[in-house]
Chains A and B, each alone.
Chain A
Amino acid sequence: MTAALASQGYGFLTGPGWNLVADARYMLGFAFMRNAFAAGTASALVAGLVGYFVVLRASSFAAHAISHIGFAGAAGAVLLGVNPVLGVGVLSLTASVGMGLLGRRLRGRDVVIGLVMAASLGLGYLFISLYTGNATDAYAVLFGQIFGITTGAVQITVLTSVVVLALLAAGYRPLLFASLDEEVAEARGIRVGAVGLGFMVLLALAVSEAVQVSGVLLIFALLVAPGAIAGRVFRRPAAALALSAGLAVLITWASLALAFYTPYPVSFYVTSLAFVLYLGARAMTGRAGLGRRLSAAVRPSREPSADTGPPATVRL
């Protein structure tokens, strides 16, 4: 871990040469950067795709809660000396299956989910305070530590992504149908309960992967923001999914590169980029959005401007 932290400074000390190809080649010359890019890309792809469905199904609070419940698992794993991501995986899977079994009854259960989430965070805090060793591992789970990822963890992350992508592709149409129109989907023979449960499992896997990049606390940036942006920009689900995955990957790549060449952490860049992009998408696509106003301004207006009131007073 300390080696990885120290290595973070390499790029910062040399600085970018503003030759993108040379800079990328230099950056990827480091094994820890190759690992970070491999795991980051795999996690971001899954986060972007699953995230679009999270937005469609209006279950972003569930996603948030699953990651926080996963924190207790991570802290417990640190205490036991096991890989924290494994702990996140176990507890977030348990939580998501529990929520999935509630099915439709999940709606309006924000208080219960929130309380379980708070209890889990408290439990995680207890585990951390019981842990006598270095707290960096727990800290890494809260805010992400992709630069510290081991080659073994990269392999597991990539493998998990392949499994999630395959399952998403196989269940794409029923999942979309059940997410958009549950009642009709059920009438058409789709087992909406099973689809919902399956989706929660995919969500738990996506959360466990994304936690490595953004951390438990900042998971929204990677898991929800790209899907929310894509849903505003594109009306075709397939196009929106592609954009969501693409944005998640781009945000991750840009953040990794920025963090390599500056002394600031990856997840700070992930959240900032996601937030700025979301604001941009809102401004361009909103009801009174910039995009609409711009296209209206470009169109020549038939009537002369009615705005002939007294000139505005300029206040100094």
Chain B
Amino acid sequence: MTGVPVIGATGLASGYRGRTVWSGAGFSVADGEFLTVLGPNGAGKSTLLRMILGLLRPAAGTLRVFGEPPLRGNPAIGYVPQRRALDPDLGVRAADMVGLGVDGHRWGVGVSPAKRRERADAVSHALASVGAAPLAGRAVGRLSGGEQQRLQLAQALVARPRLLLLDEPLASLDLRSQQEVSQLVADLRAEYGFTVVLVTHDINPVLAVTDRVMYIAGGGVSVGRPADVITSASLSRLYQAEVEVLTDSRGRLFVVGLDAETAHPHSPRGARS
């Protein structure tokens, strides 16, 4: 694609307090691309997102976002953190929660009627595009996990980001919801035209919609098309252990040969059956 890559990294390393988590990452993410970041728990996937957000400095190497060093609070980035259970007594309206994505970072109370109308329009549009328009007046604490996640998405979209970062949006969802969320993100990318970086530990729900994958494991990073990265040879190199990738009759991928400590199976559900 043309122009400056949305994300560019050379020799990038992640770590804190002198301990390197992963290193030697060189990659670039093109405008409008869908990149899925994979890897076992604790491999440093969320750390990559925090570096892109400018909340964490790279341990080594350079990282560029829209051609610039990462900027804390960059309004061009939408962020959906890993979902946590909200207090069920949290009686704040969904629309107000989403509205924070518009002007929640500004000082003051925000009383200008024109701005408030603008904000309300942006909120209802964002809610509609994630299929959550009927939730606008509901209390967020009483919504289901999936509904809360749609609100998080709407909150990120409402500021019209050019880059959307999603941290484990598929965790603790059933298989059907995982596919729905993946498809929703893909549809939104088509509608809004942003770039997507999605962190997950299970490739299967996003296999149909992702352009490339980044696999973080064993202190290293490997980037490429799923068919090139998620292979027995490529992952064995990354893990520095004998790893095998199996494909089932429906094209789902399973990584086997890792003990529970070094890696998370690609699909816990599949691994158990």
On A, residues with C-beta under 8 Å from B are 56, 58, 169-174, 176-177, 180-181, 183-190, 231-232, 234-237, 240
Q: A190-B73, A235-B139 are in contact. Are A177 and B91 (CB under 8 A)?
A: no
**Mask of B69-94 contacts with A, CB within 8 angstroms, 1/0:** 00011110101110000010111110
List A contacts of B77 (CB < 8 A): 187
List A contacts of B93 (CB < 8 A): 235-236
A235 engages B105 (CB within 8 Å): no
- Provide the bound-state CA to CA distance between A170 and B109, in Å: 7
Most A-side CB within 10 Å, residue of B77, B97, B110: B97
On B, residues with C-beta under 8 Å from A are 53, 55, 72-75, 77, 79-81, 87, 89-93, 96-97, 100-101, 103-110, 137-139, 152, 155-156
Q: Which chain B residue lies CB-closest to A182?
A: B81
B87 engages A235 (CB within 8 Å): no
B106 engages A231 (CB within 8 Å): no
Q: A187-B55, A189-B72 are in contact. Are A173 and B96 (CB under 8 A)?
A: no
**B137 contact from A169, A232, A235, Cβ within 8 A:** A235
CB distance from B270 to the nearest CB of A (A): 30
A173 engages B91 (CB within 8 Å): no
List B contacts of A174 (CB < 8 A): 104-107
**B79 contact from A172, A184, A235, Cβ within 8 A:** A184
List B contacts of A58 (CB < 8 A): 87
Q: Which chain B residue lies CB-closest to A55?
A: B89
CB distance from B267 to the nearest CB of A (A): 27
- Provide the bound-state CA to CA distance between A190 and B100, in Å: 12
A236 engages B105 (CB within 8 Å): no
- Provide the bound-state CA to CA distance between A260 and B263, in Å: 70
**B105 contact from A56, A169, A170, A185, Cβ within 8 A:** A185
Q: A171-B107, A176-B104, A189-B105 are in contact. Are A235 and B89 (CB under 8 A)?
A: no
Q: A171-B107, A187-B55, A188-B73 are in contact. Are A236 and B96 (CB under 8 A)?
A: yes
B105 engages A172 (CB within 8 Å): no
Q: A173-B110, A184-B79, A187-B77 are in contact. Are A237 and B105 (CB under 8 A)?
A: no
Most B-side CB within 10 Å, residue of A171, A188, A237: A188
A169 engages B73 (CB within 8 Å): no
- Provide the bound-state CA to CA distance between A187 and B72, in Å: 7
Q: Which chain A residue lies CB-closest to B53?
A: A187
List A contacts of B73 (CB < 8 A): 187-190
